[in-house]
Structure 1
Amino acid sequence: MSDKDASKDNPDEEEDWMSYANAGFGSTDYSLWDDEGQEAKITEEPEWNEENLQLDTGEEEIPAAPRPAGLKHLVRLGSCNHCLGRIGGKKRFGQSNLESGVEIRASVVETDSTMAKAREESPLCPFCENLFEEAPLLAELIKEAIGERDCSRLQLGARIPKDQTEAEDHLRKRFGAGGSDPLKSSLVEEVARQLKDLGYGQNLVVEKPEILALIDVLTLTVDLDIRSHYVYGRYRKLER
């Protein structure tokens, strides 16, 4: 009798390879048919198109402007009219940020009268920290700093703390409309508009200035960087 025939006659002597398996095949008690009778729960999403939607629970995700609920949240935060117009996404052609912000606030108060005192309850704007209210003062400081200097090309700049710009950038991207202007450029634009009212608007440029007026918003001061003037000439000795 050969070895093969002996192994067939004695099956108990064969090694059971399944006893060495550690994958755990067939060892689970989970059944695919246990939840057969249960129905999936469907959660309805809130409709943000309703203008009278209240965000009192704080559990809903607040949409960004210019959706009605997003504009209402901007008013609730205590945003100033300049920032409402700047990040609200409702500004029309030829309209200033202030004018657009006034319209947005009026429309929100019309739908919810409780928002009328939101600015009084939160007097500090979370986006600009009321810097736009200082624009007329900054324009006056620039005018006084220039004084009697003859300037045909004036450029404006602003120095804003990094933490303030980062915080404003985060809030603007979270709650503001897409493509909204940042704080720095909007503040410079507002100061330039105030300078136009003072008679300096025709001299404002964006490159190659004769005088650069740098605004420090932390101390509300203005530093002038005056560009040097060079006179070209040549010497000609016509007589001895």
Structure 2
Amino acid sequence: MDLTELYQKITDYGEICDHCLGRMVAKRSFGLSNDKRGQGIRIAAALTLNEPFHPQQETCWICGDFFTTAEVWADRVVQAFQGMEGKTFVIGTKVPPLMSESEEMVWSDLGLSDPEPLKSEINREVGKLVAAKTGLAGDTKNPDLTAVLHIHEERVEVQIRSLFLYGRYLKYERGIPQTHWACSKCKGAGCEACNGTGKQYQDSVEELIGKPLLPIFKAERAILHGAGREDIDAVMVGSGRPFILEIVHPLIRSADPKTLEEAINSANTDRVGVIDLDWSARSEVETLKNYKGHKKYRILVDIDGSIPEKTLQSALEQLSGATIHQRTPTRVAHRRADKVRERGVVDIRYTGKEGNDFVIEVTGEAGLYIKELISGDQGRTTPSLTEVLKTPARVVQLDVIHVEGIDQVKSHGTS
């Protein structure tokens, strides 16, 4: 279909602006804006038909002359960005269904193969104006700020990309869960049992680490993504547990990780601490969670009866390097699938006594339940120290002292 025939067929639908006309052949030629293409089609038709040139006279039946208001929308975006820190942005648009349906009807009726959607042109044209007004750089892949134009409602919605910080946390106090734990009775709504807090536990590692940073970033909340988790009654010492903290809706984006680290540690003396804080990225969260590094524990074990140290050492030698078959432990069966998992004991050894308890260090594969490795969990874990000794044994204290995989998941210099 030549341009003259195309022009005649398109204008049969109603008055159309140069932008919408040119967008019907947006993939033809290069270095032209759609409004210039539209003007070119009008000129070509006038010359071919030897008729007067017909510029647009009435409101465009497709876009409602949106592009005459592009400057207004750009100003709305600039205003919406006020008070938000960022270097890059992108424009998105919620186009009213009638507009989309109108242009799609033309595409279908005329069998057009090279049009551009209205949404794409709006994003580009408003984006160019915003860039000129603010100095921000356009970035369609990973923008700091996203402005969504709601055309029908004449408003701008701003979405702010989360920030991500990688580090390792240490937990010195027992009884603190890793993440926020909603009250089991009210499910977070607030009740008498939780004193209206909605929490099963007053604090969490997530909240203790995140709280000092919220005012720095002027952020809504912080979400902790951990490389596994320790039991609530365990401490996390030694090298610390790798984590990524997601800062949600930050109005401020620039900060020195060392300063952030100091803010967290000074606010949580003797409770939790962080080390090696650095910038990370969303893509690293999945890597962190999926990495199956070995973990090392220091445990105090109570064993019934009088067990000679040589007998204990012999039993531990049988467990060292063994493959352990663990059915989902009784203590977590209410929230995890009931299945048998195989996990390896990399190393297990006796290091001395504290009072009447035996001190044992265990290095195991990710997912190895240490308490059940010792107790046997009434036969659900086999072999176990209880099974090998043929006498009950139980963990009375557990410390996580090392979690592998730090170098594999760490991401430097990306914020």
1:223 Cα deviation from its structure 2 partner: 1.2
1:179 Cα deviation from its structure 2 partner: 2.1
Determine the structure 1 residue equivalent to 2:161: 227
Query: Which consecutive unaligned segments of at least 5 residues does structure 1 have?
Result: 1-64
- When normalised by structure 1's length, the TM-score is 0.60
Distance of 2:11 and 2:55 partners within structure 1? 7
The answer to whether 1:181 aligns with 2:116 is: yes
The answer to whether 1:155 aligns with 2:99 is: no
1:222 Cα deviation from its structure 2 partner: 0.8
Distance of 1:198 and 1:129 partners within structure 2? 25
The answer to whether 1:194 aligns with 2:132 is: no
- The residue type paired with residue 206 of structure 1 is T
Distance of 1:115 and 1:163 partners within structure 2? 32
Determine the structure 1 residue equivalent to 2:43: 106
Determine the structure 1 residue equivalent to 2:238: none
By relative contact order (CA 8 Å, sep 6+), the higher-ranking structure is: 1
- When normalised by structure 2's length, the TM-score is 0.37
Q: Deviations over 1:10-51 (max 9, x none)?
A: xxxxxxxxxxxxxxxxxxxxxxxxxxxxxxxxxxxxxxxxxx
1:146 Cα deviation from its structure 2 partner: 0.9
Determine the structure 1 residue equivalent to 2:8: 72
Identity of aligned residues (%): 23
1:151 Cα deviation from its structure 2 partner: 1.2
Of 217, 228, 233 in structure 1, the residue corresponding to residue 151 of structure 2 is 217
SS at the partner of 2:56? helix
Distance of 1:163 and 1:72 partners within structure 2? 22
1:178 Cα deviation from its structure 2 partner: 1.3
Mapping of residues 43-58 of structure 1, within 5 Å: none
- The residue type paired with residue 215 of structure 1 is L
Q: 1:163 to 1:98 in 2, by over 3 A?
A: closer
The aligned length equals 171
Q: Contact 1:151 / 1:203 at 8 angstroms: preserved in 2?
A: no
Of 74, 77, 81 in structure 2, the residue corresponding to residue 142 of structure 1 is 77
SS at the partner of 2:152? coil
- The residue type paired with residue 205 of structure 1 is D
Q: Contact 2:15 / 2:59 at 8 angstroms: preserved in 1?
A: yes
Distance of 2:66 and 2:146 partners within structure 1? 20
Query: Which consecutive unaligned segments of at least 5 residues does structure 2 have?
Result: 167-259, 267-415
CA RMSD of aligned residues (A): 2.9
Determine the structure 1 residue equivalent to 2:63: 128
Q: 1:73 to 1:115 in 2, by over 3 A?
A: farther
